Chain A
C-alpha cells in the first residue's frame, strides 16, 4: 500500500513527547521523519525511562515514541553542521520543534529565516504556555499544565483532592493536534505553494480538551462540580459512573433511570424522578451502588446484554489483553532491534482502506542516518 504521506520529509527538532509523538504519527502515515539531534547528547528523551526499562543505551520509552524514524546528528553551534542542515531544510516539507521561545531564532532557525530557505515549509512550534506572558519561561511539563488549566478538578469525586489524569495528556493532545494541522498545511502548500507557521501550546490544547466544560461554565458562571459519589464526568447525571459488584466493577453510561431499573428491579430507585437525575445524582448513585454490589459482574452483564443497556465491565490490561475483542483489533506489533532482540508496542490507531498500519523499523541510534543523508545532499 502506498501510504498517504510518502515523499514528505519531516525534520524533528522536538524532544520528549509532544513533538515526537506527532512525528511518530506522521511516520506511520508514510512520512520520512528525521530526528535532528546533538551528536553527543542526542534527544533528551533517550535518557528518560519509566520502570527503569532500557534497550541498550536508550530507554524503552524513547524507543516507543521514536520507532520508524531516522536520526541526523548535527551540532547547531558548528557552522559546517548548520550548512548541512540548511541543505536538508531546503528538501524538507515539515519542521517541528519544542524548544523554549527564542532558542531556534538564536540558532538562525526561526520561522522567518527558514522560510527564506524554503518558502513552502510547514513550520510547527510547540510550547508549554504560548510564546509570551508570565508563564513563558515555566517548564512546559504535563502535570503542571494539568494543574494550571483546571483539568485536575474534572477527575476524582467532589471530596477528593484535585486528581490529575494519569497520563501525559497535554503532550499527547498537543502532538496529535499538530499532526492534524501539519497535514492540513501540507494540503494548502500543495494547492498554493505557500508554507505555514503553526503554533501550538500544551495549555491551549488542554483548554480545548475541556471545551464542553468551559462553554458550560461561561454560560452559567458556575464551575462544573465533580459528583460526590463515583464521579465519572462532572457534567453528567446519574447513573453515569463506575460501580462495585460482588467481584469486580461495572461502568454504567447515560441512560434513563427507568431503563436501568429494568435491570436492577430496585424499589429505592423507582422513587426517583428522571428530572432529578442531575440534582439528586449522588443519592441516586448511592442507591444504585447498594443494589449493584449484591451481585457479580457476570450476573449483571448477562441481563444488561439482553436489555441492550450501556454497561460494560471494567478491565485492567491483563483482562483486556485476554479478551477476544482486544485480540481481534491486532493492536500490537513487534519491533526488531539491531541486536536481534525485539520488543512489543502498539500500532497506529488509524485504518486506511481497511488496512492497519504497521512498521517494524526501530528507533535510530544518534546520527544513524548521517552518511546516507549527507550523500543524498551531495
Chain B
C-alpha cells in the first residue's frame, strides 16, 4: 500500500506535546519528520519530569510515545553557522512546525516572512497558547493553564467540586489535531496553486472549538453558566440518568435513556412517577439519587445482564487492566513495538485504518542528534 503522504519533508522545531503530536500524525501518514533540537537538552520533553516511570537514559515515557517515527537533527539556532545550515535544510522542506511563544522565531530569524523568502511555497505552521496578539499572547501556552482560561474546568465533576480539569493534556492534543488539518489543507491547495501558507492555531481557540456545542448554548441562552449535577456528574447539559454509578463491586455507566423504562427494568417503583421527560433534566439530582441507591444493591455484571438485553445504553467502567484483558480491545491491535537506540518499547499505534490496514512503524524516537550525519550528507548541507 502506498502511504497517504509521500515525499513530504516536515521540519519540526516544536517541543512538548502540541506541535510534536501533530508531526507524529504526519509521520504516521507517511511524511518524513525531522525534529530540529537544541544540542544540549534537545526537546525539553526528553527530560520532562513526568511520573516516576523512565525509559533508558532517564528519558520520559511520554517523549517516546510522542516522538516515535521521527529523526533528530541537533542545531544551535543562536549560532550563525548552525543557523545557516538549518536554513539550507528549510529550503528542502515542504512543512515547518514550531510552538515557541510569539516573538521567539522573529528573534532567531526564522519567522514566516523570512522563511518564505528562502522557501516561498513552504507550509509554515505554528501553535501558540492564546493566539499571536492580545493580553495573553506572551503568557506560557500550557495545557492546564489554557484549560483554566477556557471555562472547560466547570464541565467535569459534580456541583460541589472545585473546577475539575480534564486529566489528559486535551488542549495540546486537540490543537495538534487542528494543526494537522490546517497543514494538510494547505498542502492540498498547494497542489493546484503552487503557493505555500501560514497556518496558525492556538490551544485556547482549539479548546473553544472543542466546547462549541455547549458554548453556543451559553452564547444564546443569555449567558447562563453550566451547572454540573450534584450527583454523579458526567455532562452538565444532559438529563438523568446520564452518569457513572457505583455498584456492589465496581461501577456502571448509563447514557441517555427514558427514566421510566430504566425504573421498570431495575424494579425501582419510585421512578415510575417521572413520566414527564422535562423532569429528567429539571429533577435530575433527585432521580439520580434514587438510581444511585438502587445501583448500589447489586454487582455490575447483574445490572448489565438486566439492562443490555433491553437495549439500555450502558457499559462497565474499566481501568487499563480491565481494558487490556477485554476481547474488544485485543481485536483492535492498538499496540505496537518500536525500537529506539536498540531498546524495544511498547506504545500505541495511529488510530486510523487506511484501506483496511493499520498504520504501524517500528521506528522509535530518535536520540538527540542521531541523524545529523545522515541528513548533512543527504542534503549536502
Complex formed: what's the CA distance from A196 to B48 in Å? Answer: 38
Select the stretch in B81-89, B197-205, B266-274, B366-374 that faces chain A: B197-205
Select the stretch in B35-43, B69-77, B102-110, B208-216 that faces chain A: B208-216
CB under 8 Å from chain B, chain A span 117-149: 129-130, 132-135, 138-139, 141-149
Complex formed: what's the CA distance from A187 to B188 in Å? Answer: 6
Q: A residues within 8 A CB of B143? A: 233, 253
Residue contact B180 to A349, C-beta cutoff 8 Å: no
Contact with A along B323-350 (1 / 0, CB 8 A): 1001111011011000000000111101
Complex formed: what's the CA distance from A244 to B329 in Å? Answer: 39
Residue contact A183 to B157, C-beta cutoff 8 Å: no
B296 to chain A, nearest CB (A): 12
Nearest opposing residue in chain A for B136, CB measure: A325
Q: A180-B25, A349-B178 are in contact. Are A320 and B149 (CB under 8 A)?
A: yes
Complex partner residue of A164 from B182, B214, B234, B322, CB under 8 angstroms: B234
Complex partner residue of A53 from B199, B220, B352, CB under 8 angstroms: B220
Complex formed: what's the CA distance from A353 to B196 in Å? Answer: 9
Asked whether B5 is an interface residue with its Cβ less than 8 Å from the other chain, the reply is: yes
Residue contact A234 to B225, C-beta cutoff 8 Å: no
Residue contact A143 to B217, C-beta cutoff 8 Å: no
Residue contact A244 to B162, C-beta cutoff 8 Å: yes
CB under 8 Å from chain A, chain B span 181-240: 181-182, 184-189, 191, 193, 197-202, 204-206, 208-221, 223, 225-226, 228, 232-238
Q: A150-B323, A161-B232, A207-B332 are in contact. Are A312 and B145 (CB under 8 A)?
A: yes
Complex formed: what's the CA distance from A356 to B98 in Å? Answer: 20
**Count of A interface residues, CB-CB < 8 Å:** 146
Residue contact A328 to B5, C-beta cutoff 8 Å: no
Asked whether A299 is an interface residue with its Cβ less than 8 Å from the other chain, the reply is: no
Complex partner residue of A52 from B161, B253, B278, CB under 8 angstroms: B278
Q: B residues within 8 A CB of A223? A: 319-321
Q: A residues within 8 A CB of B62? A: 212, 215-216, 235
Contact with A along B355-368 (1 / 0, CB 8 A): 11000000000000
B358 to chain A, nearest CB (A): 9
Asked whether B6 is an interface residue with its Cβ less than 8 Å from the other chain, the reply is: yes
**Count of B interface residues, CB-CB < 8 Å:** 146
Residue contact A352 to B198, C-beta cutoff 8 Å: yes
Residue contact B5 to A187, C-beta cutoff 8 Å: yes
Select the stretch in A57-65, A101-109, A370-378 that faces chain B: A57-65
Select the stretch in A69-77, A197-205, A262-270 that faces chain B: A197-205
Complex partner residue of B356 from A132, A199, A324, CB under 8 angstroms: A199
Asked whether A287 is an interface residue with its Cβ less than 8 Å from the other chain, the reply is: no
Contact with A along B41-56 (1 / 0, CB 8 A): 0000000111111010
Complex formed: what's the CA distance from A199 to B354 in Å? Answer: 7
Q: A residues within 8 A CB of B145? A: 251, 253, 310-312
Q: A161-B246, A349-B209 are in contact. Are A187 and B351 (CB under 8 A)?
A: no
Asked whether B302 is an interface residue with its Cβ less than 8 Å from the other chain, the reply is: no
Residue contact A198 to B353, C-beta cutoff 8 Å: yes
A145 to chain B, nearest CB (A): 8
Contact with B along A321-362 (1 / 0, CB 8 A): 101110111011000000000011110111111100000000
Complex partner residue of A152 from B206, B208, B317, CB under 8 angstroms: B317
Complex partner residue of B65 from A212, A321, A323, CB under 8 angstroms: A212
Complex formed: what's the CA distance from A205 to B251 in Å? Answer: 23
Complex formed: what's the CA distance from A65 to B209 in Å? Answer: 11
CB under 8 Å from chain A, chain B span 256-294: 256, 278, 281
Contact with B along A292-331 (1 / 0, CB 8 A): 0000000000000000001111111111110111011101
Nearest opposing residue in chain B for A256, CB measure: B49
Complex formed: what's the CA distance from A284 to B323 in Å? Answer: 32
Complex formed: what's the CA distance from A138 to B134 in Å? Answer: 46
Asked whether A272 is an interface residue with its Cβ less than 8 Å from the other chain, the reply is: no
Complex partner residue of B327 from A134, A233, A314, CB under 8 angstroms: A134
Asked whether B166 is an interface residue with its Cβ less than 8 Å from the other chain, the reply is: yes
Residue contact A350 to B178, C-beta cutoff 8 Å: yes
CB under 8 Å from chain B, chain A span 147-188: 147-156, 160-169, 172-173, 176-181, 183-188
Complex partner residue of A350 from B29, B134, B201, CB under 8 angstroms: B201
Residue contact B334 to A204, C-beta cutoff 8 Å: yes
Q: B residues within 8 A CB of A320? A: 149-151
**Among the interface residues B146, B157, B165, which one has the most CB atoms of the partner chain A within 10 A?**
B165
Residue contact B177 to A190, C-beta cutoff 8 Å: no
Asked whether A50 is an interface residue with its Cβ less than 8 Å from the other chain, the reply is: yes
A97 to chain B, nearest CB (A): 15
The chain A residues found within 8 Å of chain B, CB to CB, are 2, 4-5, 17, 25, 29-30, 50-53, 60-61, 64-65, 129-130, 132-135, 138-139, 141-156, 160-169, 172-173, 176-181, 183-188, 190-192, 194, 196-201, 203-205, 207-220, 222-224, 226, 230-237, 240-242, 244, 249-254, 277-279, 310-321, 323-325, 327-329, 331-332, 343-346, 348-354
The chain B residues found within 8 Å of chain A, CB to CB, are 2-6, 17, 25, 29, 48-53, 55, 61-62, 64-66, 130-131, 133-137, 139-140, 142-157, 161-170, 173-174, 177-182, 184-189, 191, 193, 197-202, 204-206, 208-221, 223, 225-226, 228, 232-238, 242-244, 246, 251, 253-256, 278, 281, 313-323, 326-329, 331-332, 334-335, 345-348, 350-356
Query: What are 17 of the A-B contact pairs (CB < 8 Å)?
Result: A51-B217, A132-B331, A143-B244, A150-B320, A156-B164, A187-B5, A198-B354, A199-B356, A211-B65, A254-B49, A310-B145, A320-B151, A323-B135, A325-B135, A331-B205, A349-B201, A351-B201
Known: A180-B29, A183-B184, A251-B153. 20 other contacts (CB 8 A): A5-B185, A61-B216, A133-B328, A145-B315, A155-B166, A161-B244, A165-B166, A169-B166, A180-B25, A216-B53, A216-B62, A219-B53, A223-B320, A237-B50, A242-B162, A242-B163, A253-B144, A332-B219, A345-B212, A349-B205
